[in-house]
Amino acid sequence: MTPLEKRIKYKFRNSLLLAEALTHPSLGHETQRHHFDNQRLEFLGDAVLQLIFTQHLFDLFPSFSEGQLTKLRSRLVSREGLNVHAVAIGIGNHIMMGKGEESSGGRTRSSTLADAFEALIGAMYLDSNLETVRHFVLKEAKAGIEALQSEPMDVNPKGKLQEILQSISPRSPHYSITSQTGPEHRKLFISQVSWEGKKLGSGEGKSKKEAEIAAAADALRQSLWTVR
């Protein structure tokens, strides 16, 4: 098994499908030779992911309307959301790409990683079946789905901040309560959110959760993180 197959715990019967999923279009453009690339598998993988998440959310939120389910699904299949999974399995280390694309940061570019993850899903689907892919996808997306269950509202600053930051680094943002004032029945909490040792924002609220949400919203407004 290749290192990537070991990480995803799936052995491809047709290794060419895996190779195709990991081939960036820049390789063919740079060498001026005909190479297959992952664009067709990306198209297929996107559809497979949409189906898996649509059915899972349909069962998970029986009282939600079509519009609400669509918004929840968009959070799971967004570029930021898919990039979290791509980073988690280290797919960027295995993509075959042109030297120019690699030197310009292509191996860590969120769009490249998200596309490669979709292509991998398409390849797994062709190599196995929908149930096998469903098991893998829902396992990888467990944290994201749990976040939807705990905070399913359209406005979810903490979830959005987490998606953005984990598209850059696997480390999660850290929230801390820096102060609390007022009588017991009317406390005011101030929270600070930091990431990789850098303060990103702060906010206040009548509960710790409210303060953390306000801090995440402040961080999104300031956008102080830097893409490496």
Predicted pLDDT of residue 153: 56
pTM for this entry? 0.66
User: CB neighbours of 21 closer than 8 A, spacing ≥ 6?
Assistant: 38, 41, 116, 119, 120, 122, 123
CA distances from 96 to 20, 46, 146 (A): 9, 20, 33
pLDDT of residue 228: 47
Alpha-carbon span 65 to 55, nearest angstrom: 14
Tokens linked to 106: 């292509």
Strand partners, 179: 190
| Residue 193, helix vs strand vs coil | strand
Topology classification of domain 164-222: Double Stranded RNA Binding Domain (3.30.160)
pLDDT per residue, tens digit, the chain (228 aa), is: 899 999 999 999 999 999 999 999 888 766 666 668 999 999 999 999 999 999 999 999 887 878 778 888 988 998 888 988 999 999 999 999 888 888 888 788 888 899 999 999 999 999 999 999 999 999 999 988 888 877 665 557 888 888 888 888 888 899 999 999 877 777 888 999 999 889 999 988 878 888 898 898 888 888 888 654
| Radius of gyration for the alpha carbons in the chain, expressed in angstroms and rounded | 20
For the chain, domain boundaries: 3-154, 164-222
Q: What is the pLDDT of residue 12?
A: 97
Give the CATH class of 3-154: mainly alpha
Q: Among all residues, which ones are annotated catalytic? A: 46, 118
DSSP 19-65: HHHTB-HHHHHHHTS----SHHHHHHHHHHHHHHHHHHHHHH-TT--
CA 179/CA 186 separation, integer angstroms: 14
Give the residue among 117, 83, 162 at the shortest CA–CA distance from 8. 117
Looking up tokens 């001026």, which residue turns up? 32
Of 146, 160, 137, 157, the C-alpha closest to 212 is 157
C-alpha–C-alpha distance, residues 46 and 117, integer Å: 9
Region for residue 192 given its phi and psi (left: phi exceeds 0; alpha: psi -120 to 50; beta: otherwise)? beta
